[in-house]
Structure 1
Amino acid sequence: MSTDPNRATAAAILPLVGGPDNITSIAHCMTRLRIGLRDRSLVDDEALRALPAVLGVVDDDTYQIVLGPGAVARVTPQFESLVEEGRSPAAPAAPHPHPHPHPHPVTADGLADRGAALKEAQKARNSTPFKLFLRRLANIFVPLIPALIGCGIIAGLGGMLTNLGWLPAVVPALAAIASGFLSLIAVFVGHNTAKEFGGTPVLGGAVAAIIVFPGVAKIDAFGHSLSPGQGGVLGALAAALLAVQVEKWCRRWVPEVLDVLVTPTLTVLIPGLVTLFGLMFLAGEASAAIGAFANGLLDTGGTFAGLVLGGLFLPLVMLGLHQALIPLHTTLIDQTGHTVLLPILAMAGAGQVGAAIAVYYRLPRNRSLRATIKSALPAGFLGVGEPLIYGVSLPLGRPFVTACVGGAAGGAFVGLFHQLGLSFGSTAIGPSGWALFPLLDGTSGMGATVAVYAGGLTVGYLVGFAATYFFGFTSQMLADLNTDPDPTPDAVAEPDKAPALT
């Protein structure tokens, strides 16, 4: 047996999703292993949730197993290796019914099943052309997140050393390391866009590279000289999408004998000219408008804007619409070095954590649900909210609403300080909760920035807890849920005794 814990986790997951022959695709994002399945009925959801390394499961366009940041990047290659090793030419086994029905709705498993059912219903409504397009946008930008995080933390370290006056010879090196990726992010966006929409990735990257080429400063468009980087990620996205269309047209109409010469030439030339004499200027104007709007919104109406953004983010996640924000975050980071939106949106996770703790204390006899909350809370504090959303608050209903109230309060707190002139953001997208602290960057010094963000989290925790504790349950809900679905002799003898939340 392998001593590698990541391989052991992958080996434990594989038979529970139907084995190698049931897997059609494998990918991962920041926290989730995403797999395509031939036969969904071969998956044992209950056994998957019971694995110590699994924080939750989400059934969407792909089957998603929440492993958490860091762990998922280590488990996925091992999972891919096991799938390749285990594939056979034989057809996958016939479907079999799940042997573990969940007749009792008030256990943690029952709530998880209810959350999965809600997710499945939402999935059907999410399969619209617009939402499918948003998912494709996410597939373009999500692979960039690890580099954004790493470079963001390095930039923060360089800023801290500058403020402290330490190691002045090292600071320029850190600045070069942190800025190198961001200066070329348009190229990566172009590469991923072409890959996602069916083109040749390197041709998409080649067209997008025009945007960051210093020589564009010699070109006039719309009566103005272009600037290297003008249009940023939006320009790269548009240029690569155009390149994909030109390439597909060429593949259809260019004779095969000329394809190797003509297709790549036209794929770079035509979108390249359109980019230089149109897209860079238009995308630059759009990027500037996005930055001005986001900063102006928080500068003039920060409290209200923070309340709305923090309160609505959990429903956006549930609807899949949060993916539309990824290009906005990336554009803001490309423009100013940080996104002012993410710390406010992170307050939704704080409200969720506070709500989950309130559920824990309101249901002292439901040991099953309390065990789920205890296991999911550490991930929740680090910004991984799916286990709490789909395993606790969403299937319960009212606690999901009160969690949003906590997020709104935390968002309003952070927005208020933006309105007062203490503006800050995150140098990368992806983490939230406590994991966002190393990525914070502001105009008023790191101490004030950290204090405001920590204050927002605290407000989100407290309001989410209070709203859920006092308004998250009806008397009937408490009567139905505050029971031990699987009592032991000790539990029967001491029904009011509950384990401490540690």
Structure 2
Amino acid sequence: MPTDKNRATAAAILPLVGGPENITSIAHCMTRLRIALRDRSLVDDEALKALPAVLGVVEDDTYQIVLGPGTVARVTPEFEALVEEGRAAAGGTGHHAVTADELQAQGAALKQAQKARNATPVKLFLRRIANIFVPLIPALIGCGVIAGLNGVLTNLGWLPTLVPALAAMASGFMSLIAVFVGYNTAKEFGGTAILGGAVAAIIVFPGVAKITAFGLELKPGQGGVLGALAAALLAVHVEKWCRSWVPEALDVLVTPTLTVLISGLVTLFGLMFLAGEASSAIGTFANWLLATGGAFAGLVLGGLFLPLVMLGLHQALIPIHTTLIEGSGYTVLLPILAMAGAGQVGAAIAVYYRLPRNGSLRATIKSALPAGFLGIGEPLIYGVSLPLGRPFITACVGGAAGGAFVGLFNQLGVAFGSTAIGPSGWALFPLLDGKSGMGVTIAIYAGGLAVGYLVGFAATYFFGFTKLLRTSLNQGDEDTETTATQEPSTATGQTGPKTPDPAVLTR
């Protein structure tokens, strides 16, 4: 049964990351199981990477195990259950309890290692912003698909009685997204989550239309997610300030009241106006960028997106996408950024054909390509292109070509975008929307994918390998799943094809 398989995967992972007592937190994103560890030295990296379900590991602010889309959402609950069961069992068997001194020593070591890996405050801040929006992606996807379906039914004149119901389903979450952003912001930055949501809810309250700020009447929703983010951050600081001086006996009454009152007034008479201007500026700039420098802008955006995915920084773009969707109904950037995945797929197919005798690498590519066509590029990045070096660069070339193609049509006046974020590749087709009709929109997006596939393939096929590198990799039996040519990749932590000395890559 699928549940048994997922539980077996979780059970195989748990002892290799140090067991239940070594886990301090568990979460997951679209493709990765993210765990925080007490003692990093207890992790058996090599055994973990050898598990069939594990596509790779990434060390960042958390220890991240790449399991792939769908799988990670099913394995994570089983992993959480096993951790809880293990802790309960240990509590009744005299299991050694970690002392305060041990925790302090482990925490100091982890903190030092964390500083070494994340040298810049900007990088840390962007990750925290991403942590606010990542939990919202499933709802954005679901509502976006329903919005696309509703648009098709409306254009065709089918099922008119169902259209209002679908519109309510698609729009309900987006109309209140500011509340969820405020809640997650306060939670991420150390405040009381519900107070962050309460302050952000002011932004979408219909009654704000009766309020005048800067001589202008406010509009419900003005400032959107940016306003909610700023309001909740302010609420966190006000709450912490209150707790620093309010007596404990009065804290439960005074602190929430002052937090909502002070933050609410600043939001109504300042942040909503400023955030509204910022949101308008983002939309205006994005449209101007693609209208005036479409081909070049698309080339740059499509070419640089894979490195952002590799670093995990692509999630910092979520607030921008969300702001564009709030303003115009779709984000014009996502179809262009999706071209990076097309370049990655083309590069992987080229590797497959250039190395006909490397059965292990070809098997990896075959298993990762379906996810790649659907826009999930991490398995191909960490399992194929990045360990090889040059194919990662040529994949970026393919993404740049596809981005330039889509950007050119934006420059010619055929602007379109995605009504939701999350999906990419072929999965983005149901979410496309534009002003030139669905037929033209779909044709241009499909053309961009084709360009990305072809250029990524050609660049990798002809320039992705030095002669020496291809000879060293193209060994073994094409019908045998051999691992003789594999060794751990120090660049990614992923077990991948054996790579010669870096100097070979430039010969």
Q: Which residue of 2 aligns with 1:358?
A: 350
- What count of residue pairs does the alignment treat as equivalent? 465
Q: 1:46 to 1:353 in 2, by over 3 A?
A: farther
| Whole-angstrom distance in 2 between the partners of 1:36 and 1:479 | 41
Q: Which residue of 2 aligns with 1:219?
A: 211
Q: Which residue of 2 aligns with 1:70?
A: 70
The equivalences for 1:249-268 within 5 A come to: 249-268=241-260
**Amino acid corresponding to residue 264 of structure 2 in structure 1:** G
**Amino acid corresponding to residue 180 of structure 1 in structure 2:** G
| Whole-angstrom distance in 2 between the partners of 1:276 and 1:443 | 34
Are positions 1:445 and 2:451 aligned together? Answer: no
| Whole-angstrom distance in 1 between the partners of 2:324 and 2:483 | 54
Deviations 1:433-465, CA, capped at 9 Å, x for gaps:
112122212222222222211111111111000
The equivalences for 1:343-382 within 5 A come to: 343-382=335-374
| Whole-angstrom distance in 2 between the partners of 1:154 and 1:288 | 26
| TM-score (norm: length of structure 1) | 0.88
**Amino acid corresponding to residue 345 of structure 1 in structure 2:** L
Deviations 1:190-245, CA, capped at 9 Å, x for gaps:
00000000000110001001101111111111111111100000000000000000
Structure 1 moving runs of 4+ over 6 Å: 485-492
Contact 1:21 1:91 in 2 (8 A): no
| Whole-angstrom distance in 1 between the partners of 2:38 and 2:481 | 44
Q: Which residue of 1 aligns with 2:35?
A: 35
1:126: how far off? 3.6
1:3: how far off? 5.5
Are positions 1:293 and 2:281 aligned together? Answer: no
1:402 to 391, 394, 397: 394
The equivalences for 1:387-466 within 5 A come to: 387-466=379-458
| Whole-angstrom distance in 2 between the partners of 1:370 and 1:394 | 15
1:479: how far off? 2.4
1:367: how far off? 1.8
| Whole-angstrom distance in 2 between the partners of 1:3 and 1:276 | 49
| Whole-angstrom distance in 2 between the partners of 1:356 and 1:234 | 38
Deviations 1:451-494, CA, capped at 9 Å, x for gaps:
211111111111000001101111221222222399979999xx
Contact 2:360 2:481 in 1 (8 A): no
Q: Which residue of 2 aligns with 1:18?
A: 18
| TM-score (norm: length of structure 2) | 0.87
Q: Which residue of 1 aligns with 2:86?
A: 86
1:18: how far off? 2.5
Contact 2:391 2:465 in 1 (8 A): yes
Q: Which residue of 2 aligns with 1:129?
A: 121
Q: Which residue of 2 aligns with 1:8?
A: 8
Deviations 1:402-432, CA, capped at 9 Å, x for gaps:
1100000000111111112221111111121
Larger deviation, residues 392-401 vs 241-250: 392-401
**Amino acid corresponding to residue 274 of structure 2 in structure 1:** L
Contact 2:359 2:480 in 1 (8 A): no
Q: Which residue of 1 aligns with 2:490?
A: none
**Amino acid corresponding to residue 66 of structure 2 in structure 1:** V
**Amino acid corresponding to residue 441 of structure 2 in structure 1:** T
**Amino acid corresponding to residue 252 of structure 2 in structure 1:** V
Larger deviation, residues 441-450 vs 344-353: 441-450
1:142 to 110, 134, 149: 134
| Whole-angstrom distance in 2 between the partners of 1:393 and 1:412 | 22
| Whole-angstrom distance in 2 between the partners of 1:491 and 1:188 | 47
The equivalences for 1:229-378 within 5 A come to: 229-378=221-370
Q: Give me the CA root mean square deviation.
A: 2.4
**Amino acid corresponding to residue 157 of structure 2 in structure 1:** G
Matched residue of 2:244: which SS? helix
**Amino acid corresponding to residue 24 of structure 1 in structure 2:** T
Q: Which residue of 1 aligns with 2:188?
A: 196
**Amino acid corresponding to residue 394 of structure 1 in structure 2:** L
1:172: how far off? 0.6
| Whole-angstrom distance in 2 between the partners of 1:490 and 1:328 | 45
Contact 2:359 2:482 in 1 (8 A): no
Matched residue of 1:27: which SS? strand
| Whole-angstrom distance in 2 between the partners of 1:123 and 1:312 | 26
| Whole-angstrom distance in 2 between the partners of 1:318 and 1:430 | 16
Unaligned runs of 5+ in 1: 94-120, 493-502
